[in-house]
Structure 1
Amino acid sequence: MTTGHGDARHSPRRTDARLNRERLLAAAQEVFAEDGPGASLNEIARRAGVGPGTLYRHFPNRQALLTAVLRDRIQALCGEAERSRALYSADDALSRWLGAFLAHARANQGMGSALMVDEPGAPGLDCHRLILDAAAGLLARAQREGTARGDLTAGDLIQLVTGIALSTARGEDPEQAHRLLALVLDAVYGAPRRKG
């Protein structure tokens, strides 16, 4: 039989474990941003102030840690879509979120692909679906209000912005990505051109 006293005895351990996990995720965010998805796990543990054993108790392999970091980043990005929808007009919400998505795609380029290559079908995380759903909600609102062209899909937008992120990753012009996004937004709000 478990007593209240016995439960309280384990509470500090759970708190320590939660804090260690949070420190590991924060350190992993930094180290992966600096060195990419192949960064040293020992360096992540060192920056978190824990030993490698603690890291592996929380994240049994690199893919588990990458998944956790990417999940946090994508949840923040999806939360940004919700905030934008609540605070801004349909056009401003879509434009702001696409800017945030561009920053996300540029910062996290290797992480999603590392997960797909190393562990296809990683359980519990469908990054593409979450991002696509966020974009679809914002785009549908702009289309309902008649400001965004009706023949555009959320998949089109995601592909265009991802293309900008990939093509400008190593460029020397720091403003190029923003100029290209502005061109995409002009197309989003413009009328489709007639064929022929």
Structure 2
Amino acid sequence: MTEKTARRMRADAQVNQDRVLAAATRAFARDGADASLREIAKDAGVGIGTLYRRFATREDLVWAVYRGEVDRICDTVPDLLARHPPVTALRAWMEAFLGFLAEKRGMADALKAALGTDEDQRLETRGLITCALANLLAAGVAAGRLRPDVAALDVMMALGGISLIAGEPERHDQAARLLDLLMAGLRPGSEGDGKQVR
């Protein structure tokens, strides 16, 4: 096999994998984690054997879809900051992140199984999301528009809580109000006096 042929085969394999992931993303968003793998392969234009060669189990495919979406949404941070003021960029990213989490509710059980098998994968993914938030928060702090004492992990956990509501269509307005409260709490002057309300 020539080097040129090997490169073409690798490129073809990557195209097939990308097609499978795109088809799986659509299927999981529509049908949840129980979406038919045969239908995913058909939608991708590949045989079921090709799918299984790339993703040995359903959990592997679920994980790959989730990780691909995490990478995609985290990669939007530089563009958001280039096009918008930091606070606007942060709000837009949070809304996109909530939408992403809401779409993944249908595959939650399979995703838990996939993440549960590899603690390193789970921590790495959480680190990517936290890093994206940290960059957005740092830009807001540098501009004097956000508090400097807020941990990105705390904001991520707050977003996770709001996502439980955002996933219910009839509660979108409430989720938006909670996001307003979170944004208000991130602004300078919202630290309070350190006393707990009883």
TM-score (norm 2): 0.84
Tell me how far 1:106 sits from its aligned partner.
Answer: 1.5
Tell me the equivalent position of 2:144. Answer: 146
Tell me how far 1:30 sits from its aligned partner.
Answer: 0.5
Identity of aligned residues (%): 36
How many Å separate the matches in 2 of 1:89 and 1:164? 24
Asked if 1 retains the 8 angstrom alpha-carbon contact of 2:21 and 2:65, the reply is yes
How many Å separate the matches in 1 of 2:83 and 2:111? 29
Tell me how far 1:171 sits from its aligned partner.
Answer: 4.7
Tell me the equivalent position of 2:125. Answer: 127
Tell me the equivalent position of 2:173. Answer: 175
Q: Which moved more, 1:70-79 or 1:15-24?
A: 15-24
How many Å separate the matches in 2 of 1:43 and 1:57? 16
Q: Pick closer, same or farther for the CA change 1:142–1:11 going to 2, 3 Å.
A: closer
Asked if 2 retains the 8 angstrom alpha-carbon contact of 1:67 and 1:125, the reply is no
Q: Which runs of 5+ in 1 are unaligned?
A: none
Asked if 1 retains the 8 angstrom alpha-carbon contact of 2:94 and 2:159, the reply is yes
Give RMSD over aligned pairs. Answer: 2.3
TM-score (norm 1): 0.85
Tell me how far 1:42 sits from its aligned partner.
Answer: 1.9
How many Å separate the matches in 2 of 1:113 and 1:124? 10
Tell me the equivalent position of 1:34. Answer: 30
How many Å separate the matches in 2 of 1:138 and 1:148? 10
Tell me how far 1:41 sits from its aligned partner.
Answer: 1.7
Asked if 1 retains the 8 angstrom alpha-carbon contact of 2:184 and 2:190, the reply is no
SS of the residue 1:85 aligns to: helix
**1:100 aligned onto 2:99:** no
Letter of the 1:188 counterpart: L
**1:25 aligned onto 2:24:** no
Asked if 2 retains the 8 angstrom alpha-carbon contact of 1:115 and 1:122, the reply is no
How do residues 1-196 of structure 1 correspond to structure 2 at under 5 angstroms? 6-109=2-105, 110=108, 112-117=111-116, 119-121=117-119, 123=121, 126-189=124-187, 190-194=189-193, 195=195
Asked if 2 retains the 8 angstrom alpha-carbon contact of 1:136 and 1:154, the reply is yes
Count, aligned residues: 191
How many Å separate the matches in 1 of 2:162 and 2:56? 34
